[in-house]
Chains A and B, each alone.
Chain A
Amino acid sequence: MKIMNCPLNGPRNISEFAYGGDVRPVPNDDADPKAWADYLYMKTNQPGIAVEWWIHVPTSYWFMAERDLRTDEILATYPPKLPATGATP
């Protein structure tokens, strides 16, 4: 089982965490429906470094993780950085 380093609680078994999806810029509320459709349903699914939301379940603590999708290596974790940019589709 992988270890993930929680910015609040330190290294823990990954079973203590849940994945929360890619960090991506959220369209404006009045954005074109196409922009929303892209945001909601178009995932790039490309190899590379992904910036993702993760939550430490016992503390309900959300943070961000950078993960190499080719090797599944977790490169870094840190408290949420804003504005959320992440990988653009």
Chain B
Amino acid sequence: MASSSLRRSFLRVPLNKIGATWADLASAEIAALIPGENASAPVVLRDLSTMPRTGFKGADSPAWLEARGVVLPPAPNLATKQADGSLVARLAPAEFLILGALNGDSAATDRLDSAWTIDSAGFCFQLPRRDSHAWLHLSGDKVTAMFAKICGVDLRTKAFANLAIAQTSVARLSAIVIRDDLGNIPSYHLLADSASAIYLWESLEDAMKEFSGSIAGYSSLPAP
């Protein structure tokens, strides 16, 4: 696959080191299986970096998104699940991050991306969120205990509601943390500087070691 022009994960090298099996998903490679993965470990770490996502900001972006049927969170630092499975995170009054559905369906983000042009959208600007940020997924009963080692914001489930957002510092990197439980399993999206993805990955591996954390592939995500 080395000659392919498909999008590659920022974490391809560390994932290759642990023997990841790659699959094509939404015009990108994704680590589908990891040997020895334990999807029910107290902390499960997955790389979703190549999954579809996009972003829009600017004063007209709420209206532009609403006009396209997007249900907006009522206030900054809240996220809203869409009927198509995508997740809309409101980062500021007029700034939105849209994570594609966890099944890899890019329809929701493709629809918005292809609708946007600088000439037609008013004061609403598209952001290259799929490349600016790595997207990691953390789930399990001990995820918040692990977060307490790398993040100064109280992310425990009693203090940080489902679909809440914290834009803060994680392992000294600026990061976006979104709680999005998988059923009753505490689960968090962690987005941070894509160029620092390997650093962040290694920090997480270290932090989750004491909780018997496991790195798992995309395929082990429970069906939505």
Contact = CB atoms under 8 A, between A and B. Distances in A.
The secondary-structure label for the interface of chain A is: mixed
Interface in B151-209: 152-153, 166-169, 174-175
Interface stretch (A7-15, A20-28, A32-40): A7-15
B170 to A, nearest CB: 9
A59 interface: yes
A79 B195 CA distance: 31
B175 A58 contact: yes
A67 B167 CA distance: 24
Judged by DSSP, the binding face of B is strand
Interface residues of B, number: 12
Nearest to A59: B167
Nearest to B153: A12
B76 interface: yes
A54 B13 CA distance: 39
Interface of B: 76-77, 91-92, 152-153, 166-169, 174-175
17 contacts: A8-B76, A8-B77, A8-B92, A9-B166, A9-B168, A10-B77, A12-B152, A16-B152, A16-B168, A16-B169, A57-B174, A58-B167, A58-B169, A58-B175, A59-B91, A59-B92, A61-B92
